[in-house]
């Protein structure tokens, strides 16, 4: 089997090397998921007045 080069720490566990920007990007993206249906109802219903 082929060995895959994965960074590992002292305990031989894989190391996650995410930057702060990547973490913020993912957290904001996950928090935006509930807003999608709310915005759809707000802007796409006939009685919204938009």
Q: Residue 38: inside a domain, yes or no?
A: yes
Comparing CA positions, the residue from 29, 31, 6 lying closest to residue 17 is: 6
Task: Show the domain range for 26.
Answer: 2-44
Residues, the chain: 50
What is the mean pLDDT of the segment spanning 29-48?
Answer: 87
In a domain, residue 50? The reply is no
Query: What pLDDT score was predicted for residue 15?
Result: 66
How many structural domains is the chain composed of?
1
Q: Which residue has the tokens 């109802």?
A: 41
Res. 49 pLDDT band, cuts 50 70 90: low
pLDDT of residue 31: 92
In this prediction, residue 45 has a pLDDT band, given cuts at 50, 70 and 90, of confident
Mapped onto helix, strand or coil, the DSSP state of residue 6 is: coil
What's the pLDDT tens digit per position in 11-35? Answer: 776 667 889 999 999 999 999 999 9
Element containing residue 23 per DSSP (H, E): helix 20-32
Answer whether residue 49 is part of any domain.
Answer: no
């Amino acid at each position: 089997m082929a060995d895959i080069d994965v960074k590992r720490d002292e305990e031989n566990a894989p190391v996650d090397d995410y930057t702060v920007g990547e973490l913020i990007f993912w957290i904001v993206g996950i928090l935006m998921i509930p807003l999608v249906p709310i915005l759809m109802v707000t802007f796409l219903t006939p009685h919204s007045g938009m």
